[in-house]
Structure 1
């Protein structure tokens, strides 16, 4: 299954009247353990694609690295599910960081904002970028249409880094936080400027998702789903415009509405 992001399985489907044997496509769930300077750091359950981006983005969001050059070497053993990372400045498991953790793909398993390294890495966003209602709707439509894996399985989250004109990069993963880490990693590896960028997201805006956007450095996050109260408290504090329920012709603006043209 290495290199695949979906697989098929024989199932029995009931259509309301009859049972039908057929083949169904589903998302692959893959554990990846990061070994940091020879020590087990974290195990993520993810979609097995763009693994280098995922590792780089995750380490950046955890405050372990700031730029790609902080990594001395990286080797990913896809067969065994290990990423071996050595840093230029060797990392020790200090008390202000986490010890070994298991980070699942399920909802409700995210980290909290009040970990010390989250406070260190989350940015207050000062961008003056604005977006029109039509652009919000068009970017959501583009992201949804770009994900063949979601259309095949219905079992993944989609995220895209965009300008007001369109998608720069889109990523898919069974873990919503993983999709954002892949985008973060891509930006770090390719030195992508983030000052004029927007995050478009398929899932709900949880506190973890909002925090990821702050760490990436984007000031606008658009979602087709709902936010949580803690996410909106963070968005208020960190200067992020959160827009949810982008469906059909409407949407809700929850925080910092000055970035939505016409308000």
Structure 2
């Protein structure tokens, strides 16, 4: 159902204290580097998994505010020999790299979910693909509602996962104001900025946040749950959206 990150087989010599050394074959995640140009202006070099590039490019351009809507892109072309991606804009769009307006995300603060539902997503990412378990080299993200996976993305880069999700969201016209993001990676402020752009009011990660990530999640009114497991999680910001935590939240006010 979902695209898998590419892996290749590599030989190594593994050592175990009680067993000694032996040859072993590992699945290693593949990554590629492509220079991204918008209207022949070099924007960045993308380091990413080699699949579903259109979602990634669309999401990246929106996330970094190079465009305001998907309609502004006329074509996306990729040259696999030169590792170059060219984005051309619609004829009525004049591109100014440093003068794009700031995009705003909309949050629905009325959404509430149960603590048990949050726990039910503790093993969700493990059940979608085997890429993480075979290579231990990709990050994953899923947009969910009522235990249904609405969108899924994976990539060697955690920021790329969020860019890919945004590409899927705008392409499929997904309303994220009542959805939850399940994420595999750490949550620094750079991740929270992208989550804010996705427009989800609740984010759950298997990993920990940073102090700046927490501060930004709080200011953006994002409910942030970390160390997500099938039987536990730690709610770090805005617990009022999670049923069963209201009393503790009220006591902290």
TM-score (norm 1): 0.85
1:193 aligned to which of 175, 200, 212: 175
Aligned pair 1:36/2:38, yes or no?
Answer: yes
CA–CA separation in structure 1 for the residues paired with 2:104 and 2:46: 21
Alpha-carbon RMSD across the aligned residues, in angstroms, is 1.7
Stretches of 4+ aligned residues off by more than 6 angstroms: none
Q: Which has the larger radius of gyration?
A: 2
Structure 2 portions without partners, runs of 5+:
246-253
CA–CA separation in structure 2 for the residues paired with 1:84 and 1:90: 16
CA–CA separation in structure 2 for the residues paired with 1:210 and 1:147: 24
SS in 2 for 1:254: strand
SS in 1 for 2:55: helix
What is aligned with 1:62? 64
What is aligned with 2:125? 143
Structure 1 portions without partners, runs of 5+:
98-116
TM-score (norm 2): 0.89
Query: How many correspondences in the alignment?
Result: 239
Displacement after TM superposition at 1:15 (Å): 2.4
What is aligned with 1:80? 82
Q: Would you say the 8 A contact 1:143–1:167 is kept in 2?
A: no
What is aligned with 2:48? 46
What is aligned with 1:217? 199
CA–CA separation in structure 2 for the residues paired with 1:166 and 1:242: 20
Displacement after TM superposition at 1:248 (Å): 4.4
Mapping for residues 76-115 of structure 1, pairs under 5 Å = 76-88=78-90, 89-94=93-98, 96=99
SS in 1 for 2:163: helix
CA–CA separation in structure 2 for the residues paired with 1:179 and 1:4: 11
Displacement after TM superposition at 1:4 (Å): 6.5
What is aligned with 1:240? 222
Aligned pair 1:171/2:132, yes or no?
Answer: no
CA–CA separation in structure 2 for the residues paired with 1:122 and 1:239: 13
Q: Would you say the 8 A contact 2:122–2:230 is kept in 1?
A: no
Aligned pair 1:14/2:18, yes or no?
Answer: no
